[in-house]
Structure 1
Amino acid sequence: MKPKTSSAVDEASFSAVKAGIAEFVAGQGERYADQIERDGRVPEELRADLYERGYFGLCAPKEYGGQAIPFDRYLELMELFSMSHGSIRMIVHVANGVWRAIDRFATAEQRRRFVVPAVTGDLRVAFALTEPTAGTGADLRSTVTRVGDDYLLTGEKHLITFGVACDYWLLFARMAGSEGKEGTIALMVDRHTPGVTVTEMPPTMGVRGTDHAHLVFDNAPVPVANRLGEEGRGLEVAFGGFLTPSRISVAMSCVGLARRAHELAVDHALGRETFGRKLAERQAVRFMIAENATDLEATRQLVLHAARHWQSGGPDAEALSSMAKLHAVDALTRVTDRSLQIHGGIGYWASSPIERVYRDARAQRFEEGTNEIQKTVIARAELGRRK
């Protein structure tokens, strides 16, 4: 019986963790951000720092070495991390989510080999679902054929976050000759498996420093012992174990990034003077600030509603996670655009903090599925309810 996180939290301990994260984001986090933007790489000392601070196992059970912070309260911390550089947020987001997908179907031995080291930060796991020649989900083209105690894996993956510098890929494929979700399979694939070609993809517009991999598998052998769950249940591992809560976490990431943009805009409006008046005294600017604040609070509450629904095992969790992600991305787009407008021309220069925020925000439009994917999930749930 796997341990579960408690729905309660010690408020004094939680407040201390929250205060520590806020201090890190405002201080050392910004110094790391400058270094990442300058070098185009996430420094190893950043990962070591996050590890030492215990930020890789915030919501995992204490039995696994985590802090057992309930998911909805963990999102309060994710909002803070998301006010920092996109790559810092990405490291924390992946580390605090991928263990859950493995754990859901793991055997006791797999929990010892994969889950606990992922929680403690001793094992880096990348989520490998997206393919260059297929859509996300049951359209998987990567295939496996069982030969004795191994699966031989053939296919391609791309846009795999941290797929270059990881230890394992949590990878999804299908049994050769199968169709639909019933043929899918989830595997833990060693980064150094023979028959695998790893190519680092070109730099991105935003979230600089996070590596993304293009992977090619040519009859790469993967032990059957590394399969999570039964054959045919791969998408259950992907969606229920990772994507549903991950979409909620990404939605809260949008809140944090929007909050950072909003605060920068407010500070600029209070300090910038034109024609003898502060920008904050001008009605057009005040209206944009009001709209930003409203977008922020409405989105935050929808995200927390989705989180609590998922946490309690509610039947609408998948649809609500997509609603939260869809709404959050659109709100982030509006807030960052207004915030940049309040800055005027100077906000477009790389010397202005809002410029990095604006670039990082665009990545949220496709992380964990595009808006169009979210609408498909929501519409399916709504139409299914009517039927």
Structure 2
Amino acid sequence: MSMMDDASFATLKNEVAAWVAGPGEEWSERIEQEGAVPEALVDELRERGYLSLAAPEELGGRGVGFPRFLQLMEHFSRLHASIRMLVHVNNGIWRAVERYATPEQLQEIVIPTIKGEKRIAFTLTEADAGTGADIRTTVRREGDTYVMNGEKHLITFGVSCDWWLLTARLEGTTGHEGTVALLVPNTDLPGAEVIDDSLTMGITGTDHAILHFHDTPVPVSALIGEEGQGLEVALGGFLLPSRISVAMSCVGLAERAQQLAVDFSKERVTFGKPLAKRQAIQFMLARNHAKILAARELVYAAARAFGEGRPDAGAMSSACKMVAVDMLAEVTDNALQVFGGRGYFKREPIERVYRDARAQRFEEGSNEIQSLIVARAVLDGTANYA
């Protein structure tokens, strides 16, 4: 697997940093004003290669290894959450399907997705199910067709995508057994209903869907992997590294909140001196800084565990997301407090940052679910401190 060399990556990282500080911030403001992600922005991200960063060159990507990709995510995450989401999902979803895909699926679906020409939506979450093993969407096989029934919700890009990477279970099975992963085309499938559910607190402009399936026919050729591997595809291929990437997005957004608070504290004068001269504000900013650094190091530790294929990689990914999410909540809350009443108004960027920060609390699983994963590893001895 070919990877980008050091000099090329240094150039790319500088380019991304400059884009984030300039055009990226202009796009962020436009998204908030218009309430939608302009197609021209998606085109620009694709043309710059930002939707193809992490995949290997032989698949049409740019060969940026995972730890280095996280460095770029740290920059992208300082922008509007919808920009971060585009970069995050498109640079991760290929991992779930690439090693399971047939040659036909690779050429028709995976490679165009890596190039940013097509989009796959990760489709696991259900309204009345939690961890994945309890999914209720079912399929039954009738010859060369699966007949699907069920509901999915909170499906990011579920309206605009070209395919849903959908996890279901064979009728009559329980637990992990019998789960299947399907690449289902987002077309006018019989019995399929797509409900646009995009009015969210933050991440303005990113579409989200509720999906209803009633005796919807799906060709067996849509199967990714084998019957019984559905959760293996969803959890190992996508969710594990995605949780690490989301944790780094917490770090990047926290850094943006911190910088906004620092800058404001220097310009805001009360009773004859800047807020930055007041010890209470200094202590708040100092705690923010320390917690950002600590979360950042844990994210990289989890990335190393994933890259090395260590048995504790799953627990590490959950642990780093737990810590980063809690850190982001505290940092953004402190930053908003530095702004006082001014931070509550939409004219201040910290207001958008504060709203966008809430999504990571449930993205790729809540902290309660992460705690269960970590607790199991601690109790069975697979967690370690190396």
TM-score bracket for the superposition, by shorter chain length: over 0.9
* Match in the other structure for 1:352: 348
- Is 2:89 the partner of 1:104? no
* Match in the other structure for 2:167: 172
Once the two structures are superposed, what CA deviation does each residue of 1:47-71 show, in whole Å capped at 9, x if it has no partner?
0010000011101010111111110
Residues 188 and 226, structure 1, Cα contact 8 Å, conserved in 2: yes
Counterpart among 70, 75, 99 of residue 80 in structure 1: 75
Counterpart among 233, 237, 254 of residue 237 in structure 1: 233
Residue type matched to 1:187 in 2? Answer: L
Relative distance call for 1:386 and 1:68 in structure 2 (3 A) is closer
* Match in the other structure for 1:70: 65
* Match in the other structure for 2:308: 312
Counterpart among 367, 377, 381 of residue 377 in structure 2: 381
* Match in the other structure for 2:118: 123
Please state how far the C-alpha of 1:345 moved relative to its aligned partner.
Answer: 1.2
Secondary structure, counterpart of 1:252 in structure 2: helix
Secondary structure, counterpart of 1:342 in structure 2: helix
Identity within the alignment, %: 57
Residues 104 and 237, structure 1, Cα contact 8 Å, conserved in 2: no
Secondary structure, counterpart of 2:14 in structure 1: helix
CA distance in 1, matches of 2:347, 2:353: 12
Residue type matched to 1:90 in 2? Answer: M
Please state how far the C-alpha of 1:168 moved relative to its aligned partner.
Answer: 0.3
Residues 198 and 205, structure 2, Cα contact 8 Å, conserved in 1: no
* Equivalent residue runs for 1:25-40 within 5 Å: 25-40=20-35
CA distance in 2, matches of 1:201, 1:386: 39
Counterpart among 252, 273, 292 of residue 296 in structure 1: 292
Once the two structures are superposed, what CA deviation does each residue of 1:259-294 show, in whole Å capped at 9, x if it has no partner?
000000111111111111111111111111110110
Q: Which moved more, 1:10-19 or 1:233-242?
A: 10-19
Relative distance call for 1:386 and 1:167 in structure 2 (3 A) is closer
| TM-score calculated relative to the size of structure 1 | 0.97
- Is 2:76 the partner of 1:92? no
Once the two structures are superposed, what CA deviation does each residue of 1:104-141 show, in whole Å capped at 9, x if it has no partner?
21122221122111100111100000011211311010
Residue type matched to 1:288 in 2? Answer: M
Counterpart among 195, 208, 211 of residue 212 in structure 1: 208
Please state how far the C-alpha of 1:332 moved relative to its aligned partner.
Answer: 0.3
* Equivalent residue runs for 1:198-277 within 5 Å: 198-277=194-273
* Match in the other structure for 1:323: 319
Secondary structure, counterpart of 2:177 in structure 1: helix
Paired residues, number: 382
Secondary structure, counterpart of 2:128 in structure 1: coil
Q: Structure 1: where are the runs of 5+ without partners?
A: none
Counterpart among 361, 365, 368 of residue 372 in structure 1: 368
Counterpart among 319, 338, 341 of residue 342 in structure 1: 338
* Match in the other structure for 1:195: 191
| TM-score calculated relative to the size of structure 2 | 0.97
CA distance in 2, matches of 1:77, 1:144: 39
* Match in the other structure for 1:182: 177
* Equivalent residue runs for 1:124-143 within 5 Å: 124-143=119-138
* Match in the other structure for 1:52: 47
Once the two structures are superposed, what CA deviation does each residue of 1:283-308 show, in whole Å capped at 9, x if it has no partner?
11111111011011100000011011
Secondary structure, counterpart of 2:248 in structure 1: helix
Residues 57 and 96, structure 1, Cα contact 8 Å, conserved in 2: yes
Residues 5 and 70, structure 1, Cα contact 8 Å, conserved in 2: no
Relative distance call for 1:52 and 1:158 in structure 2 (3 A) is same
Q: Which moved more, 1:317-326 or 1:16-25?
A: 16-25
Residues 156 and 214, structure 1, Cα contact 8 Å, conserved in 2: yes
CA distance in 2, matches of 1:53, 1:163: 24
Residues 97 and 242, structure 1, Cα contact 8 Å, conserved in 2: yes
Residues 329 and 365, structure 1, Cα contact 8 Å, conserved in 2: yes
CA distance in 2, matches of 1:282, 1:15: 38
Secondary structure, counterpart of 2:361 in structure 1: coil
Once the two structures are superposed, what CA deviation does each residue of 1:139-180 show, in whole Å capped at 9, x if it has no partner?
010000111111111110000000000100000000011111
Please state how far the C-alpha of 1:386 moved relative to its aligned partner.
Answer: 8.0
* Match in the other structure for 2:14: 19
Q: Structure 2: where are the runs of 5+ without partners?
A: none
Residues 2 and 58, structure 2, Cα contact 8 Å, conserved in 1: no
Residue type matched to 2:345 in 1? Answer: W
Once the two structures are superposed, what CA deviation does each residue of 1:213-236 show, in whole Å capped at 9, x if it has no partner?
000011111111111111011000
* Match in the other structure for 2:328: 332
